[in-house]
Amino acid sequence: MESEVNAFLSQIKAGADYSESTQQAYANDLRVFLLYLNGSGYSGGVEDLNAELVAGFLAAEREQGRRRNTLIRRLATLKYFQDFLVRSGLLAGNRFSGTDRKIQRVILEMPDKQAAQLINESEVEIILSVFDSSSRPRSLRDRAIFSLLLETGLSVASLISLDMTDIDLAANRLHVNLFGAGDVWLGMNQAGESVKAYIEKGRPNLLDKPGEPALFISQMDGRLSRQGVWQILKYWGLQAEPPIHLSPRIVRHTAALRMKHSGMPSKDIQIRLGHRNLLSTQALIRRLEASCVE
């Protein structure tokens, strides 16, 4: 199975759809899987890949003290690998899914000592793919919300206060009032495409009241509420396979760690997150970094 794993990793490395960190995560997960197979005396090929084998691997990882979030990521990687095998004609069809009872039992019956604080890059891509596979008009709005929170780390209050006049699509930026910085323009980065798609294709389908200034509007018309954003993220997280625990706090924590890893100064991260004390921001970053250690 090692040659097929190498082929899969070579393909994603050659493409432009995966970041370097995501490629490394896939490689790590699959190398761990191969080590498990070698250590357990497995002698089959990719055609023998099945739910029982995957469940056994995840159970072994659980015994090693891996967290639930890690098991979910390992499973997501194996599903991507299986999809590659099917597309390449190396496997006749899917042999397992995240809903298989044996797999679910390993993950869901695992004691969860601490609620998830953030999501990893593999889970980010899973959530984005869930949005992209949906035909619901609101999926464009919800993808823009998720993407903006992930790119900017803004509070939900700042997000829902955005008006149409706060968005500059041409310059790929948004206007917001931040504590400690006042009125500023922030780059939307990769979220810009999602916001543009929502404004041009999604928002007109949700808008019944002409002249509504709010950028993000509810299906009942009018400005989206904080509770609405919470429900939106929870809903889409549950659509993933396996489900991913998603909330504004988790997405903002993920954004904070991404900004730190991108080289953004802690002071700037503090302003984005709306923290009044820099020490609070630094303590949060330390906790998030510690939670990533497996």
Instruction: Calculate mean pLDDT across residues 173-179.
Output: 89
**Mean pLDDT, residues 153-181:** 92
pLDDT value for 109: 67
Q: Give the tens place of pLDDT for each residue, 94-116.
A: 888 877 888 888 877 665 445 45
**Each residue of 34-70: pLDDT tens digit?**
999 888 878 788 888 889 999 999 989 888 878 777 8
At residue 126, does pLDDT exceed 60? Answer: yes
Q: How far apart are CA 258 and CA 244, in angstroms?
A: 19
- Picking from 108, 137, 169, the residue at the C-terminal end of a domain is 108
Six-digit token string for 243:
């489900």
What is the per-residue pLDDT for 127? 95
Radius of gyration of the chain (CA): 21
Instruction: Say which CATH number the domain at 15 has.
Output: 1.10.150
Residues 6+ apart with CB under 8 A from 205: 137
The Cα–Cα gap between 43 and 37 comes to 8
The pLDDT assigned to 293 comes to 56
Q: What's the mean pLDDT in 262-269? A: 92
Residue 134 scores a pLDDT above 70: yes
- Average pLDDT in the 263-270 region? 91
Q: Are 150 and 254 in contact (CB under 8 A)?
A: yes
Residues 91 and 156 in one domain: no
Q: Same domain, yes or no, for 19 and 139?
A: no
Q: Based on the domain organization, do 128 and 194 belong to the same domain? A: yes
Q: Which residue, 95, 114, 195, 100, is CA-closest to 150? A: 195
Residue 116 lies in a domain: no
Predicted pLDDT of residue 111: 57
| 70-79, 96-105, 198-207: range with highest mean pLDDT | 198-207
Judge whether 252 and 119 are in contact, CB under 8 Å: no
Tell me, yes or no, whether 266 lies in a domain. yes
The per-residue pLDDT for 201 is: 93
| Phi, psi dihedral angles at 106 (to 5 degrees) | -65, -45
Residue 284 lies in a domain: yes
Mean pLDDT to the nearest integer, 233-245: 90
Of the candidates 95, 79, 9, the one whose C-alpha atom is nearest the C-alpha of residue 45 is 95
Distances (CA, A) of 251 to 207, 209, 233: 26, 30, 9
| Count of beta carbons in the 10 Å neighbourhood of residue 285 | 19
Mean pLDDT on 268-276: 87
Residue 287's pLDDT band, with cuts at 50, 70 and 90, is: confident
- % of the chain at pLDDT higher than 90: 50
| 152: containing domain | 121-291
Question: Residue 145: is its pLDDT beyond 70?
Answer: yes
Q: Which of 58, 74, 108 is the last residue of a domain?
A: 108
Is the pLDDT higher at 25 or at 149?
149
Q: List phi, psi (to 5°) of 290.
A: -65, -35
List Cβ neighbours of 49 (8 Å cut-off, separation of 6 or more): 1, 82, 85, 91, 95, 96
The least confident of 59-63, 219-223, 289-293 is 289-293
Cite the DSSP H helix spans in 109-171. 121-132, 138-152, 156-160
The reply to whether 115 falls in a domain is: no
Q: Which range among 129-133, 234-238, 261-265, 277-281 shows the weakest confidence by mean pLDDT?
A: 277-281
| Confidence at residue 129, expressed as pLDDT on a 0 to 100 scale | 94
Is residue 125 domain-shared with residue 150, that is, in the same domain? yes
> What average pLDDT does the segment 24-39 reach?
90
Residue 96: how many other CB atoms lie within 10 Å: 19
pTM check: above 0.75: no
Q: Average pLDDT, whole number, for the chain?
A: 88
The last residue of a domain, from among 56, 79, 108: 108
Please provide residue 213's backbone torsions phi and psi, each rounded to the nearest 5 degrees.
Answer: -80, -25
Q: Is the model more confident about 280 or about 30? A: 30
Give dist(CA 265, CA 259) in Å, integer. 8
Q: Which of 5-14, 154-163, 271-280 has the lowest mean pLDDT?
A: 271-280
Domain CATH number, residue 192: 1.10.443.10
Instruction: Indicate whether 158 and 267 sit together in one domain.
Output: yes
